[in-house]
Amino acid sequence: MSFRKVVRQSKFRHVFGQPVKNDQCYEDIRVSRVTWDSTFCAVNPKFLAVIVEASGGGAFLVLPLSKTGRIDKAYPTVCGHTGPVLDIDWCPHNDEVIASGSEDCTVMVWQIPENGLTSPLTEPVVVLEGHTKRVGIITWHPTARNVLLSAGCDNVVLIWNVGTAEELYRLDSLHPDLIYNVSWNHSGSLFCSACKDKSVRIIDPRRGTLVAEREKAHEGARPMRAIFLADGKVFTTGFSRMSERQLALWDPGVRRFCLA
């Protein structure tokens, strides 16, 4: 008589993680409770930035990576927005430059002191105004210096020249509903987006054209996300009609956009 194995064998079955000590963690940070689908943090080789609760506007902390342990409630913040901050992103070409988008419909770019903040930072280097509703997505171009993408609840994607504070491209007719996220490909020639209409789109921003589109990438009504991979494929996370989590890998191809 043969018995069926109840437990599936796995090489990770007896692998356990070891939590780091408290003095190596960041503690007592009042993370923002704004109802927006965001990571609320960003990190680079020098600093950790975290969007925090703030009265009378929006703010985020910028901490040197070495400053672990309990964070004083009086620690200085970046606090120039008049509405809650929704997204932040470090510049890939300068570890001391960070951009933020807010409910006040503006995008601000900040220069962080080399050794971190010693007093509240209220004056941005650049203020970018072009959205008519709150700005929930900020992402720097991966290869071109001073090029920044922002997307707002007005369903508009703007690409900025931060050095001159000018709009390079305005894409206002490609998304009929709320944009959940945007991701550049590795060269920065295209970006993909996930939208509330359940479609994943690949867009050429310089031409303002739709390169490929996958309708109903995930059937569920909850938010989904899409990112470009190094090989040009698109990875998405979403939900089924029964609210079960789903992962999918898509191949845009030349004339198709199907499961890889």
pLDDT digits over 123-155, tens only?
999 999 999 999 999 999 999 999 999 999 999
The verdict on residue 82 lying in a domain is: yes
φ, ψ (nearest 5 deg) of residue 127: -115, 125
Does residue 122 sit in the same domain as residue 199?
Answer: no
Per residue in 156-209, pLDDT tens? 999 999 999 999 999 999 999 999 999 999 999 999 999 999 999 999 999 999
Per residue in 103-130, pLDDT tens? 999 999 999 999 999 999 999 999 999 9
Task: Tell the residue number behind the tokens 């008049």, with chain if given.
Answer: 82
The verdict on residue 122 lying in a domain is: yes
Helix (H) or strand (E) holding 128: strand 126-129
Task: Tell the residue number behind the tokens 């921003």, with chain if given.
Answer: 205
pLDDT band at 22 (very low <50, low <70, confident <90, very high): confident
User: Is a pLDDT exceeding 60 seen at residue 254?
Assistant: no
| Tokens at 50, concatenated | 């975290």
Does residue 165 sit in the same domain as residue 199?
Answer: no
The verdict on residue 18 lying in a domain is: no
Number of domains the chain contains: 2
CB count, 10 Å around CB of 79?
Answer: 18
Q: Which residues contact 153 (CB under 8 A, 6 or more apart)?
A: 133, 134, 135, 136, 178
Instruction: Please choose, from the candidates 170, 92, 182, 80, the residue with its C-alpha nearest in 3D space to the C-alpha of residue 137.
Output: 182
Cβ proximity of 78 and 51 under 8 Å: no
For the chain, what is the mean pLDDT? 92
The verdict on residue 8 lying in a domain is: no
Helix (H) or strand (E) holding 51: strand 47-52
Residue 36 sits in a domain whose CATH number is: 2.130.10.10
Q: Is 182 exposed, middle or buried (0-12, 13-18, 19+ CB in 10 A)?
A: buried
pLDDT at 15: 83
Does residue 110 sit in the same domain as residue 162?
Answer: yes
pLDDT at 78: 97
Q: Is 229 exposed, middle or buried (0-12, 13-18, 19+ CB in 10 A)?
A: middle
pTM of the shown model: 0.89
Per residue in 78-112, pLDDT tens? 999 999 999 999 999 999 999 999 999 999 999 99
pLDDT band at 256 (very low <50, low <70, confident <90, very high): low
Task: Determine the structural domain holding residue 129 and report its residue range.
Answer: 26-172
Does residue 126 sit in the same domain as residue 190?
Answer: no
Does residue 214 sit in the same domain as residue 128?
Answer: no
Question: Once rounded to an integer, what is the mean pLDDT over residues 213-229?
Answer: 94
